[in-house]
Amino acid sequence: MHPPAFLAINKPVGIRSTQCVEEIRRALRREWPGTKVGHGGTLDSSASGLLVMLISSATRLSDLVMSMPKAYRATVRLGVETSTCDFAGEAVFSADWRSLREADIDRALCSFMGWRNQRPPKASAVHVAGRRAHEIFRGGGEPEIQPRPVFAESLTRADTISESGEFVLLVRCGKGTYVRGIARDIGRLLGCGAHIAALERESVGCFSIKDAVEFGRAAGTRQGGLSSAMTPLSALSRFLPTYSFSEEDARRLKNGLAVPFARASRKGFGKFAPVGVIACVSGEGFSIGRLREQGGEHLVFPEVNISESAESGTEQ
């Protein structure tokens, strides 16, 4: 099996995330049969941009990658709200937008920054009564989706309003935020309706669209070339707070046992620090640990252990 790694793919519009997984799995099959392939957070088929593929035992890091902050470039079209909150849906409301000023949009954007409750679109992957909301919606039903807290770090209008009522919106947000939902809610606040005319994901944590392989090219690349485009697990040390441990403590972590945080040596600060989550590196592999207080001291409890070179890592 292929050693664990990440592969950044530039997904085009019209391709589902599951199709990308299957194409990469097929591309690796001849040289690395049985290699697992997953992704670190789905991307709508109507959207383009970065999809982080998880190779081999890196699939165990799916939750971690999904929790990373994301950046999007969205084209918002004013005047029409659609059933899917993007260009693929049917119009459900329309109103004249031409009396709006750009200052009105900028004031509205301030309402969506920070923490707020958002109701995901009906055509979304959230679960409702054991089914995906989009399955209920596309089957003619009305999924009862509850609002949930989401976080937007920044919303920036990147240009003027075009003659057709479009403007570019740059979004930096956390896990679970639907940019389609932001566009819908902006339109409702402004009273004219709005939807996403185009959406591109530009980054996920330490992964950037600038480093991504074009989807069609990746699927047709020889195995050796595809492997060379992959990013090793050690890339996470540029992103997460990273620590090393003695051989004895590293062995304990590998065996699923907690070790005192006081014995850790800092290797890097990282750019993203989920509360209590750290990366633990050793000569034998890579661990994701969580800090907890117990008996008056802080301990590192391993949550995922992965070998850098093989599929032999064990998940805790």
Taking only Cα atoms into account, the Rg of the chain, rounded to an integer number of angstroms, comes to: 22
Residue 312 lies in a domain: no
- Mark whether 247 and 219 lie in a shared domain: no
**Residue 72 pLDDT more than 70?**
yes
| Residue bearing the bigger pLDDT, 49 or 33 | 49
* Alpha helices for 124-206 (secondary structure H): 133-138, 179-190
Same domain, 284 and 211: no
Q: Which of 204, 226, 252 is the last residue of a domain?
A: 204
Q: Is 315 domain-assigned?
A: no
Please state, in angstroms and rounded to a whole number, the distance separating the CA atoms of residues 316 and 310. Answer: 17
- Spatial distance between the Cα atoms of 9 and 268, rounded to a whole number of angstroms: 27
Place of tokens 């403590």: 249
Integer CA distances (angstroms), 101 to 11, 171, 187, 303, in order? 34, 20, 13, 50
% the chain with pLDDT above 70: 94
Neighbours of 316 (CB within 10 A): 16
Total H helices, total E strands in the chain: 8, 21
Mark whether 189 and 286 lie in a shared domain. no
Q: Clarify whether residues 87 and 168 are in a common domain.
A: yes
At 193, is the pLDDT very low, low, confident or very high (cuts 50, 70, 90)?
A: very high
Per the DSSP assignment, residues forming a β-bridge with 38 are 54
Please tell me whether residues 81 and 191 are part of one structural domain. Answer: yes
- Between β-strands 70-78 and 166-173, what pairing exists: parallel, antiparallel or unpaired? antiparallel
Q: Which of 204, 223, 256 is the last residue of a domain?
A: 204
**Other beta carbons within 10 Å of 16:** 13
Residue 221: the pLDDT is 56
Among the listed residues 22, 30, 31, the one whose alpha carbon sits nearest the alpha carbon of residue 39: 22
d(CA 215, CA 213): 6
Does residue 218 fall inside a structural domain?
yes
| Residue 141 C-beta-side C-alpha neighbours within 13 Å | 12
CA dihedral 126, 127, 132, 136 (to 10 degrees): -110
pTM for this prediction: 0.90
Same domain, 37 and 83: no
Is residue 135's pLDDT more than 70?
yes
pLDDT greater than 50 at residue 147: yes
Query: Are residues 126 and 222 located together in one domain of the fold?
Result: no
User: Considering the domain boundaries, does residue 276 fall inside one?
Assistant: yes
314 part of a folded domain: no
Q: Which helix (H) or strand (E) holds 281?
A: strand 277-282
Query: How far is residue 291's CA from residue 300's CA, in Å, rounded to a whole number?
Result: 5
- Residue 83 shares a structural domain with residue 53: no
Total domains in the chain come to 3
The reported pLDDT for the residue numbered 316 is: 40
Least trusted range by pLDDT, from 146-160, 163-177, 210-224, 261-275: 210-224
Give the HSE-up count for residue 232: Cα atoms under 13 Å, Cβ half-sphere.
10
- CATH number at 19 reads 3.30.2350.10
Mean pLDDT in residue range 244-254: 90
Give tens-digit pLDDT for 263-282. 999 998 887 777 788 998 87
In the predicted model, what is the mean pLDDT of residues 205-213? 92
The confidence score (pLDDT) of residue 314 equals: 39
Helix 102-110 × helix 179-190 angle, to 10°? 120
Q: What mean pLDDT comes out for the span 187-199? A: 98
Are residues 159 and 79 located together in one domain of the fold?
yes
What mean pLDDT value characterizes the chain? Answer: 90
Mean pLDDT calculated for residue range 143-166: 95
Question: What CATH number has the domain bearing residue 297?
Answer: 2.30.130
Residue 52 lies in a domain: yes
Same domain for 54 and 38? yes
Q: Are residues 12 and 84 in the same domain?
A: no
Residue at which a domain ends, from 215, 234, 253: 234
pLDDT value for 218: 66
* Rounded average pLDDT over 67-71: 93
In a domain, 313, yes or no: no
Question: What percentage of the chain carries pLDDT values higher than 90?
Answer: 66
How confident is the model over 173-189, as a mean pLDDT?
96
In a domain, 316, yes or no: no
Active site residue 86: no
Which range marks the domain in which residue 42 is found?
Answer: 5-67+206-234
Residues 302 and 226 in one domain: no
- Region 90-106 average pLDDT: 97
Quote the distance between the C-alpha of residue 191 and its chain's center: 30
| Average pLDDT of the residues in 106-127 | 94
Given 44, 86, 185, 249, the catalytic residue: 44
* pLDDT surpasses 90 at 194: yes
Nearest-angstrom CA–CA distance, 313 and 58: 10
